[in-house]
């Protein structure tokens, strides 16, 4: 058998319904406890612990300890990208004639994709940066142009904020509802954080929805025309 990526192993890990529920829950971008993930998956604590051990061994989740508490999160943006793509693909299967992605209009409008803005608002942010020449692709991949860094500074985002951190700074992420790109990577995370810090929007607890205030939506439209 030819050597190559072990797709079957990753597929088997994701393919279990309980493990899939755990991964989808972690797509909210929050670190969750074993107990919280057990509830999400509808299984007992020992079973959830076993599933998490398998997902960790497969490179899909990573633990984080804070004091006496142990949390789990998705291991990387690469893992999040796989889950996001599968959610979009699976969402099309039962009714291929309907619009792709989530049925909830709020999720289609704006949601968190692991740690960056997705949905219609995420696509608008990405398209605006591209159209104004703020986001460019060079020899080292996608990054901000000098004018883009000037624009980002209005959000408190500077190039020095990313010094010594691993790439990618910017990553094009296919949006599973719009079927167009939104901005991922460390810059995508920074823009979402800045939008929340400005009070334009907030995450609805227990969901992936990003809810914009009326004033925040107007400010977003001015910033990303």
Buried b (16+ CB within 10 A) or exposed e, 30-58: bbbebebbbebbebeeeebeebbeebeeb
Domain extent at residue 24: 7-75
The per-residue pLDDT for 102 is 55
Q: How far is CA 40 from CA 25, 136, 138, 159, in A?
A: 7, 40, 42, 38
The per-residue pLDDT for 173 is 81
Among the candidates 44, 75, 106, a domain finishes at: 75
- 128 and 165 fall within a common domain: yes
Q: What is the CATH number of the domain that holds 18?
A: 1.10.10.10
Among the candidates 23, 44, 75, a domain finishes at: 75
Q: Which tens digits make up the pLDDT trace of 71-122?
A: 898 888 778 878 877 876 765 544 444 444 556 788 889 998 878 999 999 9
- 71 and 83 fall within a common domain: no
Number of domains observed in the structure of the chain: 2
- 59 and 92 fall within a common domain: no
Residues 6+ apart with CB under 8 A from 143: 135, 136, 137, 169, 170
Using CA atoms in the order 195, 188, 221, 108, what is the torsion angle rounded to 10 degrees?
-100
**Could you give the CA distance from residue 51 to residue 16 in angstroms, rounded to a whole number?**
9
Residue 1 domain-assigned (yes or no): no
- 192 and 177 fall within a common domain: yes
The per-residue pLDDT for 103 is 62
**Could you give the CA distance from residue 168 to residue 137 in angstroms, rounded to a whole number?**
12
- 37 and 89 fall within a common domain: no
The per-residue pLDDT for 197 is 95
Q: What is the mean pLDDT of residues 10-16?
A: 85
- 47 and 92 fall within a common domain: no
Q: Which tens digits make up the pLDDT trace of 167-182?
A: 578 888 877 777 788 8
Cβ-contact 71, 33 below 8 angstroms: yes
Among the candidates 75, 107, 126, a domain finishes at: 75
Outline where 58-118 has alpha helix (H): 77-92, 105-109
- 135 and 212 fall within a common domain: yes
Cβ-contact 173, 84 below 8 angstroms: yes
- 41 and 83 fall within a common domain: no
**Could you give the CA distance from residue 35 to residue 67 in angstroms, rounded to a whole number?**
16
| pLDDT over 70 at 3, yes or no | no
Q: Determine what percent of the chain is predicted with pLDDT higher than 90.
A: 34
The per-residue pLDDT for 31 is 81
Q: How far is CA 62 from CA 79, 133, 196, 198, in A?
A: 11, 36, 25, 30
Q: Which tens digits make up the pLDDT trace of 112-157?
A: 887 899 999 999 999 999 999 999 887 767 888 999 999 999 999 9
- 52 and 154 fall within a common domain: no
Residue 2 domain-assigned (yes or no): no
Cβ-contact 125, 185 below 8 angstroms: no
Residue 39 domain-assigned (yes or no): yes
The per-residue pLDDT for 93 is 45
**Could you give the CA distance from residue 224 to residue 13 in angstroms, rounded to a whole number?**
39
The per-residue pLDDT for 163 is 67
Q: Is the pTM of this model over 0.75?
A: no
């Amino acid at each position: 058998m030819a050597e190559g990526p072990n797709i079957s192993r990753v597929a088997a890990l994701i393919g279990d319904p309980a493990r899939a529920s755990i991964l989808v829950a972690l797509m909210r971008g929050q670190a969750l406890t074993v107990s919280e993930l057990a509830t999400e998956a509808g299984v007992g604590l020992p079973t959830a612990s076993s599933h998490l051990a398998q997902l960790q061994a497969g490179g899909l989740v990573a633990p984080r300890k804070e004091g006496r508490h142990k949390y789990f999160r998705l291991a990387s943006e690469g893992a999040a990208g796989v889950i996001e793509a599968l959610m979009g693909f699976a969402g099309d299967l039962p009714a291929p004639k309907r619009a792709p992605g989530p049925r909830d209009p709020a999720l289609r409008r704006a949601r968190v994709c692991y740690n960056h803005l997705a949905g219609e608002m995420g696509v608008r942010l990405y398209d605006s940066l591209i159209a104004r020449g703020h986001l460019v692709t060079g020899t080292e991949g996608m990054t901000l142009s000098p004018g883009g860094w000037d624009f980002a500074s209005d959000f408190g985002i500077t190039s020095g904020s990313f010094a010594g951190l691993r790439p990618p700074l910017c990553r094009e992420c296919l949006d599973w509802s719009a079927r167009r790109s939104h901005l991922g990577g460390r810059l995508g995370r920074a823009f979402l954080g800045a939008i929340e810090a400005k009070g334009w929007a907030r995450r609805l607890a227990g969901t992936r929805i990003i809810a914009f205030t009326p004033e925040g939506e107007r400010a977003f439209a001015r910033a990303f025309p």
